[in-house]
């Protein structure tokens, strides 16, 4: 292969990137089925940079450049501005000469780039004549062709950092150049990426967001170009999307290490990916793991919760089908009569003994957990088309989390539930709760559960259950911020201990021993051996706080949480869980409590009515005016749950149907079909009265 750097490149060359096969391949840092996290580099990886080349002296300031621009705009004479852009973007050395600030920069947090000057030059670029804009692009082409070989200096990194901010890449006509820039950045070493991540997080929130959105748009356009001939054939540039996604992962890493994050993690989702064959992506990721075969699943931050939910559902369906097929084949091979109930996880419970019956059924049928769930309430007519299942979940969760039951403690200050620390010989009921949560995800049921986010972090530690039953699970590093989610008052007190300026030992009079109330009795626990004889001092208070927080959130509830963890993973034993953030697991388990009745109105379907009929107009007038509590009751009445699925209200397929009965009848619902049936009420007052009575007294019917 000939060296690109030895070639003479003409600025006027038609398309230097026609020779892209001679550029280096992208270094695809593919993770082997593990969560993509920020790289923490060991010292040996942080190799010193080669010595920087001599940089010519360029003295133009931001103010001088802005004055040059003003003169050019007024006079129409762009010669000085043209010369500046032509020179500055001619090479990496010239880029550094123009934008490198004075002084020595030895930390990862300081790029040594004059950000104010870079911003001024780029903000002005799109308002310059076309020939200047073209000259900048030609300069970048020549720089990239010249610079891709050899070891990287810190000045090279600065040049990449500056070039990736160029606003010209918003146009598809520049995508070939942009793609090669992204390819070279993606192929940098791990140590180089470490520097870039820390530099990127220093960008303003507005510019950071613009760069993220530009990368997302680039990926979307490459996947689905507006015009067939708008971009080169996909077969010749299959590396575009992997390169862009890898660079986007640097922005995601920068966002993750920023406190608070620069932008919500959901803004990294690319909704275009909801329209690709994401199961093929998932299978590629499962089959090729640590290889050069690209899959979006290697970079799960880009996949929306909608896609992840669909992957889990389809993966679950495959497991369900596999389980059912095995049962069927086993029966046939033994020449036994085939009962179609074999295809389901059939749960039969009595309402009066709901909890004990459910526990017995799930323990007895634990080999069938991955079959389709079907619930029957003993002594009640009705075929479970989904509504009875939803009601079973709702009633069971309500009973388990009742404060009188004692499994969970409701924290009033944080308005969430946490595991009770009482000790017992059998933690099967905690396993039941975990199994319930797993079944809810598996069967796409939203539960009204209020765990803190830290609980879902524990649930993903590790994201797949270890084969060794004795291996530790759920032992996530706990911080004061995590305790703040659950016990804010205690977290505040421990924070005051850490910042106290006086004599800690004499004024607080604490030891490394803590006390907990369990079933009405106060018990003491040493945070370390001999803790009751070790005083807390100014020197060891950090250790005390860390051990105390770890005790509260991990050790004191370990057996309870381990049973809960194994219950959840006995159902959701899927590689797809590795794609999820704790926040996304919470969304899958609980749905969203945010109700948008206007969105429900837009998505509603009608049977026997049209949206202009008097009854329908009265219905929406009443519902939109309802307080939140009644809106939740309405949703529960019609769907069996008062929460919104991951895909939003549109995913409910909510239907309003007409029933020809007298108007003194109450509305009825078919929760399995997310359907509400309304008699032809004539007035708003009449409809409001009847609807309020129906939704306030709905529990216990369950007839489908």
Q: Which residues are catalytic?
A: 672
List the end-to-end C-alpha distance of the chain, in Å, as a whole number. 71
Instruction: For residues 624 and 629, give the distance between their C-alpha atoms in angstroms, rounded to a whole number.
Output: 12
Distance (Å) of CA 121 to CA 11, 82, 114, 443: 21, 12, 11, 54
Coil/strand/helix, residue 674: coil
Burial (CB < 10 A; 0-12, 13-18, 19+), residue 255, is: buried
Nearest to 578 by CA among 460, 472, 465: 460
DSSP category for residue 7: S
**Total number of residues shown for the chain:** 704
H helices within 460-501, ranges in order? 480-486, 488-499
DSSP category for residue 514: E
C-beta separation of 666 from 601 below 8 A:
no
Buried b (16+ CB within 10 A) or exposed e, 405-426: eebbbebeebebbbbbbbeeee
Give me the residue label for tokens 């060296």: 3
Bridge partners for 129 per DSSP: none
Contacts of 326 (CB under 8 A, 6+ apart): none
DSSP category for residue 574: -
Beta strand ranges found along 378-433 (DSSP E) = 408-411, 416-419
Nearest to 672 by CA among 645, 639, 695: 639
Nearest to 295 by CA among 41, 307, 253: 307
Cα–Cα–Cα angle for 649, 654, 657, nearest 5°?
155
Cα torsion angle, 108, 184, 150, 93, sign: negative
Give me the residue label for tokens 């986010």: 453
SS3 letters for 95-158? Answer: HHHHHECCCCCCCCCCCCECHHHHHHHHHHHCCCCHHHHHHHHHHHHHHHHHHCCCCCCHHHHH
Roughly what angle, to the nearest 10 degrees, separates helices 154-163 and 175-186?
150
Instruction: For residues 567 and 569, give the distance between their C-alpha atoms in angstroms, rounded to a whole number.
Output: 6
Instruction: For residues 159 and 157, give the distance between their C-alpha atoms in angstroms, rounded to a whole number.
Output: 5
Instruction: For residues 444 and 440, give the distance between their C-alpha atoms in angstroms, rounded to a whole number.
Output: 6
Coil/strand/helix, residue 523: strand
Nearest to 419 by CA among 437, 439, 400: 400
Buried b (16+ CB within 10 A) or exposed e, 321-344: eebbeebeeeeeeeeeeeeeebbb
Give the DSSP H or E segment for 372: strand 372-377
C-beta separation of 93 from 55 below 8 A:
yes
Instruction: For residues 421 and 515, give the distance between their C-alpha atoms in angstroms, rounded to a whole number.
Output: 12
Distance (Å) of CA 7 to CA 141, 151, 211, 294: 13, 19, 32, 32
């Amino acid at each position: 292969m000939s060296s690109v750097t030895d070639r003479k490149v003409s600025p006027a060359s038609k398309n230097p990137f026609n020779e892209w096969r001679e550029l280096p391949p992208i270094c695809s840092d593919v993770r082997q089925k593990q969560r993509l996290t920020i790289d923490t580099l060991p010292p040996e990886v942080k190799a010193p940079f080669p010595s920087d080349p001599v940089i010519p002296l360029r003295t133009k300031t931001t103010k001088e450049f802005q004055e040059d621009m003003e003169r050019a705009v007024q006079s129409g004479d762009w010669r000085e501005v043209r010369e500046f852009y032509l020179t500055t973007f001619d090479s990496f050395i010239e880029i550094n000469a123009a934008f490198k600030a004075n002084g020595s920069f030895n930390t990862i947090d300081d790029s040594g780039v004059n950000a104010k000057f870079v911003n001024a030059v780029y903000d002005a670029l799109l308002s310059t004549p076309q020939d200047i804009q073209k000259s900048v692009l030609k300069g970048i082409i020549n720089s990239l062709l010249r610079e891709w070989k050899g070891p990287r200096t810190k000045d090279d990194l600065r040049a990449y950092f500056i070039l990736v901010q160029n606003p010209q890449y918003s146009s598809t006509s520049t995508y070939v150049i942009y793609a090669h820039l992204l390819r070279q950045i993606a192929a940098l070493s791990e140590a180089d990426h470490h520097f870039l991540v820390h530099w990127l997080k220093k960008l303003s929130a507005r510019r950071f967001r613009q760069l993220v959105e530009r990368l997302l748009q680039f990926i979307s356009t490459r996947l689905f170009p507006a015009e067939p001939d708008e971009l080169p054939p996909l077969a010749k540039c299959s590396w575009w999307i992997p390169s862009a996604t890898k660079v986007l992962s640097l922005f995601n890493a920068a966002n993750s290490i920023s406190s608070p994050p620069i932008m919500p993690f959901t803004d990294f989702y690319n909704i275009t990916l909801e329209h690709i064959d994401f199961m093929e992506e998932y299978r590629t990721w499962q089959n090729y793991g640590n290889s050069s075969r690209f899959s979006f699943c290697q970079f799960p931050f880009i996949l929306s919760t909608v896609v992840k939910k669909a992957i889990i559902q389809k993966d679950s369906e495959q497991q369900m089908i596999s389980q059912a097929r095995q049962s069927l084949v086993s029966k046939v091979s033994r020449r036994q009569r085939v009962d179609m109930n074999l295809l389901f996880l059939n749960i039969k419970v009595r309402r009066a003994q709901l909890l004990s019956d459910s526990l017995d059924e799930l323990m007895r049928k634990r080999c069938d957990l991955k079959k389709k769930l079907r619930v029957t309430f003993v002594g009640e007519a009705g075929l479970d088309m989904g509504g009875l299942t939803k009601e079973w979940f709702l009633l069971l969760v309500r009973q388990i989390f009742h404060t009188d039951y004692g499994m969970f403690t409701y924290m009033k200050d944080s308005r969430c539930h946490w595991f009770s620390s009482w000790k017992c010989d059998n933690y099967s009921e905690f396993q039941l709760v975990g199994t319930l949560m797993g079944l809810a995800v598996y069967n796409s049921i939203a539960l009204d559960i209020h765990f803190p986010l830290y609980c879902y972090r524990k649930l993903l530690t590790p994201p797949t259950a270890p084969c060794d039953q004795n291996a530790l699970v759920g032992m996530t590093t706990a911080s004061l911020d995590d305790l703040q989610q659950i016990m804010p008052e205690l977290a505040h007190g421990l924070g005051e201990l850490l910042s106290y300026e006086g004599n800690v030992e004499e004024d607080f009079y604490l030891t490394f021993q803590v006390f907990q109330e369990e079933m009405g009795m106060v018990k003491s626990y040493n945070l370390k051996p001999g803790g009751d004889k070790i005083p807390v001092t100014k020197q060891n208070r950090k250790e005390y706080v860390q051990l105390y927080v770890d005790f509260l959130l991990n050790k004191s509830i370990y057996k309870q949480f381990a049973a809960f963890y194994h219950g959840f993973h006995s159902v959701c034993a899927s590689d797809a869980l590795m794609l999820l953030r704790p926040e996304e697991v919470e969304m899958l388990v609980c749905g969203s409590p945010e109700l948008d009745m206007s969105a429900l109105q837009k998505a509603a379907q009608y049977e026997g009515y049209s949206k202009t009929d008097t009854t329908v107009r009265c219905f929406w007038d009443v519902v939109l005016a309802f307080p939140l509590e009644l809106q939740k009751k309405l949703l529960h009445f019609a769907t069996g749950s008062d929460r919104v699925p991951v895909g939003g209200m549109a995913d409910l397929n909510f239907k309003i149907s007409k029933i020809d009965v007298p108007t003194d009848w109450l509305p009825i619902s078919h929760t399995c079909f997310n359907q509400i049936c309304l008699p032809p009420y004539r007035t708003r007052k009449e409809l409001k009265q009847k609807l309020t009575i129906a939704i306030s007294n709905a529990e216990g019917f369950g007839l489908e």
